[in-house]
Amino acid sequence: MAMKLVIDTNILISAMLRDSTTRRILLSASIEFLTAGYSIQEVMEHLEEVCKKNGVSRDKNLDILQRLQKHVRIVEIDDESGVQEEAEDLMRKIDPDDAPVIAAALSVDCDGIWSEDPHLLKQDMVRIWRTRDLIQFIK
């Protein structure tokens, strides 16, 4: 059975900024990647910032995002399941903005979350995979 990871928004943005290890893992690894629906919205909210940082046009960045999205499945969180509330309770004192990614991970059978966000490391309900962990796993 293939590894299944929920990816945080920072991973998507990192993959957009340059042709990097992060982008190569997302595009080619034998890992099933998932993300919360809000992640794509969050990337779109930061699109102008991404354009400035990577010096690439808006259209080219949208093409990159579209290419990345083909390798990432959106997780729909069932409001009735209680995972959103559970995630909000868990992250309330750490970083409430990270609750959606925790909820996405709790709503599917997965091996954890791929993120470089230090706040997520402060919780112990879902395993957090850093990029360096994935590099070791893939080798």
CATH number at residue 126: 3.40.50.1010
pLDDT for 1 equals: 60
Write phi, then psi, for 5 (nearest 5 degrees). -130, 140
Residues of the chain below pLDDT 50: none
85 to 7, 9, 23: CA distances (angstroms): 20, 20, 32
pLDDT confidence of residue 91:
94
Instruction: Report whether 65 contacts 52 (CB < 8 A).
Output: no
Rounded to two decimals, the pTM is 0.91
Residue 76 has a pLDDT of: 85
Give the pLDDT confidence of 28-56 residue by residue, as tens digits: 778 999 998 888 899 999 999 999 999 99
Query: What's the rounded Cα separation, in Å, for the pair 112 and 60?
Result: 31
**Structural domain range at position 31:** 3-138
| 134 vs 136: CA distance, rounded Å | 5
Q: What is the DSSP letter of 93?
A: T
- Tally of domains within the chain: 1
